[in-house]
Amino acid sequence: MHNKIYSHICHMNIGSCFLSQGKLSFPASSNIRVPREVRIGCVSRHVKAVMRKKSGTSNNNPNKAQNAKAIVIVKRSGGGGLLTNLVRDGVEGIEELVGKTLILELVSNELDSKTNLEKKTIKGDAHKTEEKEDEVYYEATFELPTEFGKVGAVLVENEHHNEMFLKSIVFDGFPDGPVHLTCDSWVQPKYDNPVKRVFFTDKSYLPSQTPSGLRRLREEELELLRGNGEGERKSSDRIYDYDVYNDLGDPDSNINLKRPVLGGSKQYPYPRRCRTGREHTDSDPSSEKRSLDFYVPRDETFSDVKQSQFTMSTISSGLSAILESLDAILTDQNLGFRSFEDIDTIYKEGFKLPPLKGNGLNFLQRTVPRLIEAANDSQNLLRFDTPETLKRDKFFWFSDEEFARETLAGVNPYSIQLVKEWPLRSKLESQIYGPPESAITREVIEPHILGYGTIEEAIKEKKLYMLDYHDLLLPYVSKVREIEGTTLYGSRTLFFLTKQGTLKPLAIELTRPPIDGKPQWKQVFTPASYSISHSTNLWLWRLAKAHVLAHDAGVHELINHWLRTHAVMEPFVVATNRQLSVMHPIYKLLHPHLTYTLAINSLAREILINGNGIIEKSFSPNKYSMELSSAAYDQLWRFDLQALPNDLIDRGIAVVDPNAPHGLKLTIEDYPFANDGLLIWDAIKQWITEYVNHYYPTPSIIESDQELQPWWTEIRTVGHGDKSEEPWWPNLKTPKDLIDIITTIAWTASAHHAAVNFTQYTYGGYFPNRPNIVRTKIPTEDPSKEEWETFLNNPEQTLLESFPSQIQATTMMLVFNILSYHSPDEEYIGQYLKPSWAEDPTIKASFERFNGRLKEIEGIIDSRNADCNMKNRHGVGVVPYEQMKPFSGPGITGKGIPYSVSI
């Protein structure tokens, strides 16, 4: 694709080649994205042409002063309406007339050989020369004395009234060819921020290799990015610092919205977030006040295209209808669906909502302020796209086989684990939580493990697997049950690996600890075929599955998605910007994996995980949701186990086998997530291995790197300071250490996140398949006579009443729809060569191999999905497993691995 575009551009004249970098070069319907290296090449050729046209000859005499020309590309901001844009354009026009412009100062790589001081910069004004649909071009000319040497950096001052987004600067006229600077950064007006912005060339330098003329600037730029840890951050700041999660509650508006501080204590350990520095609340001095805007460093904010994703997805999902009508529904927030036919209508003709009552802010207007701008549809109709799973099989969610299959190939493939010990026992204190022995006995299990006489034999042959949410959830059961409209159990679900390579559910155990003077309660439920009382047991089994699915949905969203990808990545983003210069090769390697992470995490703190936010209102743990996430971080999270091979081994899903592909033998051979994930893991690791070994041929260079070592120290001791003393943190002494660390970070941000994110609507868009909350206890737990008769007479209604309410279901369907959506500007792992990687032929060749391998993997996954013998990823009514396919188009596709954990 890239070669075809490049060939096409190279056969165009210089003017067209220059135009090709904007959207006007190709028809809007072509959907072609010009690779950055091609784009910059076209600009360079344009600069050369201008130079030759103006000077008549090229400057090849090394004894004469060098004439250089710069092309500066500025991205136009899409924000504001017609009036705003007219005013902005008018102001910019006046500023140009009175000489307001961009001031560039060229910085030499070298110190003055006589004085050993930095050489004097060469200053020039850059004036606007051309405007495109979304870009503005500035040009500046410079005359450099022969002793100036090579340009290593540019200082930029913005004399305009507004901030400007600099995309790139290209210089030409030098004997060694053009000099590229990739900026991709906002530059504030000099009158608001007098500090000159520095941009370095795309060439990578380890700290010890930094050209002498750039060392001071490299160090000073990092100092600016670190800040001094004081004051409240402004939206225009570029400061990265740490703080605890002390802004989830809002006690000043309601004391019931007070939430514990996560991080900085033994009771609630947690990764750190980016510091905002707001004032603390009056009601709780430990909590930070919430505001309309949640600070993220200026360069971390969403692009215009990604920001518009929320608008487009929201309109298509019917948010406008909800906003017009939701207050009427909220007169009874517990209103559920009366029948499965009512659920079906929200995908077919939609269902009519009552008119809005009153003028007060409704639920979504309070909790989703960024989305209400899209509401302009006056129809009171709510209609969602039919998820692909439902399109293929209306009753897919009924199936026990699908229930088991989704533990291997659904949206949460990280929880299934091997049963290693028998009998099953809790590790919680029996004096508090009751007897530790599980109610799942051999008498329940052994009749159904065909081909094995005893459980011990099945365990020895690695045939028993489990979803174990017992000890994690049980401590929260009593607290959660004090809240109206939700309930909770500890749960275990046991599966048997059949000869066909699929999992078969054997039993579900639900446990309630001693509560309100009542002793511990626990019960085992089995599939209907195991029981003489078929009809009653069938509905009890379905209800038990609903509870387990709600547990799985909560663990997925709060732990395997939010905690393990978003929250734990934030300290890596902050530390990388604080400790690694943009010139550092490891910064350039990591940067794609960090893009937009702080922005999406900030949005989550604003509307999703905050007190009384969407997660609390829609998931079983309610106000204890983030406490549960903290407990999981404390008990379960280890950096070394985030590496896919280590995770599979830890869960008993794989064993080390040097003779097996990837050095691992899977205990479940047909495990789509692991099968495909290991291909991606190996491809990432090979790319990173070649990259790291190129810059660090010996361990001594690693150990002496004055930026890399503080980076790793700060991640452990500050960003994840609550776990700083854990023995499992890897050392950073050798190239292998660095390869393992970077591969784990890259995997977590890209493939791990993709595996748990982009099929949320596919599997959760029809909520009976994955109810995010179960609101009522199971009928067999201390039932009254009336409750039991109601269940016996109408078990379907009992199941419907246990499901999420209408507002809970539709809200989460909306959220899943947005989170599952790929924006048009999504950049997928290994898709495009970065300018800095193109600067080095060795790195460029490595990346091209990486890109080629990812394309091969796509073909391998397609062939696996076509193999009828791989039953966990192929079959009638089953959505093929494509989460690990690297590339995707926009929309909800169920595939595609973006670089970072942004949606």
Check if 757 is active-site: yes
Both 298 and 358 in one domain: the answer is: yes
Identify the domain containing residue 166 by its residue range. Answer: 66-224
The predicted pLDDT at position 607 comes to 86
Residue 216 and residue 72 share a domain = yes
Per DSSP, the three-state class of 169 is: strand
Q: Tens of pLDDT along 20-41?
A: 333 333 333 333 344 444 444 4
Domain shared by 380 and 443, yes or no: no
- Residue that finishes a domain, picked among 168, 197, 224: 224
pLDDT score recorded for residue 528: 73
Q: In terms of domains, do 471 and 372 share one? A: no
Report pLDDT for 347.
Answer: 87
Distance from C-alpha of 660 to C-alpha of 656, rounded to nearest angstrom: 8
SS percent in the chain: helix, strand, coil, step 5:
45, 15, 40
pLDDT value, residue 17: 37
Say yes or no: 134 and 277 in one domain. Answer: no
Q: Taking a C-beta distance cutoff of 8 angstroms, is the pair 792, 863 a contact?
A: no
Looking at 160, 470, 662, 753, which residue is catalytic? 753
Distance of CA 372 to the CA centre of its chain: 23
272 and 194 within one domain: no
Stretch among 92-96, 535-539, 547-551 having the lowest mean pLDDT: 92-96
- Which residue, of 471, 506, 533, is where some domain finishes? 533
Is 639 domain-assigned? no
Q: For residue 849, report the phi and psi dihedrals to the nearest 5 degrees.
A: -65, -40
- pLDDT given for residue 825 in this prediction: 87
CATH number at residue 504: 3.10.450.60
State mean pLDDT over 850-866.
Answer: 97
pLDDT above 70: percentage of residues in the chain: 82
CATH number at residue 332: 4.10.375.10
Among 174-188, 342-356, 805-819, the least confident range: 342-356
What would the pLDDT profile of 371-423 be if each residue is shown by its tens digit? 333 333 445 456 788 999 999 999 999 999 999 999 999 999 999 999 999 99
Report whether pLDDT(221) > 80.
yes
Q: Is 561 an annotated catalytic residue?
A: yes
The 8 Å CB, 24+ separation contacts for 286-291 are 286/246, 286/261, 287/246, 287/247, 287/249, 287/251, 287/258, 287/259, 287/261, 288/243, 288/246, 288/247, 289/247, 289/252, 290/247, 290/250, 290/606, 290/610
Of residues 781 and 60, the one with the higher pLDDT is 781
Res. 367: pLDDT tops 80: no
Does some domain include residue 230?
A: no
- For residues 308 and 409, what is the distance between their CA atoms, to the nearest angstrom? 31
Q: Establish if 272 belongs to a structural domain.
A: yes
Local structure of residue 784 (DSSP, 8 states) = -
Are 264 and 315 found together in one domain? yes
Shared domain for 183 and 281, answered yes or no, is: no
Q: Is residue 347 part of a domain?
A: yes
Q: Which of 239, 778, 829, 903 is catalytic?
A: 903
| pLDDT for res 307 | 57
- CATH number (domain holding residue 214): 2.60.60.20
User: Is 168 within the bounds of a domain?
Assistant: yes
570 with 601: CB under 8 angstroms? Answer: yes
Q: What is the pLDDT of residue 378?
A: 46
Q: Which tens digit of pLDDT belongs to each residue from 245-294?
A: 999 999 999 999 999 999 999 999 999 999 999 999 999 999 999 987 88
Residue of 180, 566, 591, 822 marked catalytic? 566
Cβ neighbours of residue 316 under 8 Å, at least 6 residues apart? Answer: 385
Give first-to-last CA distance, the chain, whole Å.
25
User: Is 469 inside a domain boundary?
Assistant: yes
Q: How large is the average pLDDT for residues 291-312?
A: 73
* Residue 443 resides in a domain: yes
What is the Rg, in whole angstroms, of the alpha carbon atoms belonging to the chain?
A: 29
**In the prediction, which pLDDT does 618 show?**
94
Which of 79-88, 591-600, 666-675 is predicted with the least confidence, judged by mean pLDDT? 79-88
State the pLDDT at residue 352. 58
The answer to whether position 25 is within a domain reads: no
Domain count, the chain: 3
Active site residue 860: no
Distance from CA of residue 31 to its chain's centroid? 25
pLDDT mean over 233-248: 96
Tell me the backbone φ, ψ of residue 666, rounded to 5 degrees. Answer: -75, 135
Q: What is the pLDDT of residues 457-479, one digit of tens each?
A: 999 999 999 999 999 999 999 99
- Do 252 and 380 fall within a single domain? yes
Question: Is-catalytic flag, 753?
Answer: yes
666-675 mean pLDDT: 98
Residue 382: per-residue pLDDT: 60
- CA nearest 686: which of 754, 747, 749, 752? 747
Report the pLDDT value the prediction gives residue 376, as an integer from 0 to 100.
Answer: 35
192 shares its domain with 92 = yes
Active site residue 256: no
Residues 102 and 202 in one domain: yes
| Selected catalytic residue, list 362, 757, 772, 865 | 757
pLDDT of residue 331: 56
pLDDT at 832 over 70: yes
- Mean model confidence pLDDT for the chain: 86
> Which pLDDT does position 323 carry in this prediction?
44
Q: Which of 46, 547, 556, 561 is catalytic?
A: 561
Q: Are residues 86 and 193 in the same domain?
A: yes
CB atoms within 10 A of CB 16: 13
Helices (H), 317-424: 319-329, 340-345, 363-367, 388-392, 400-409
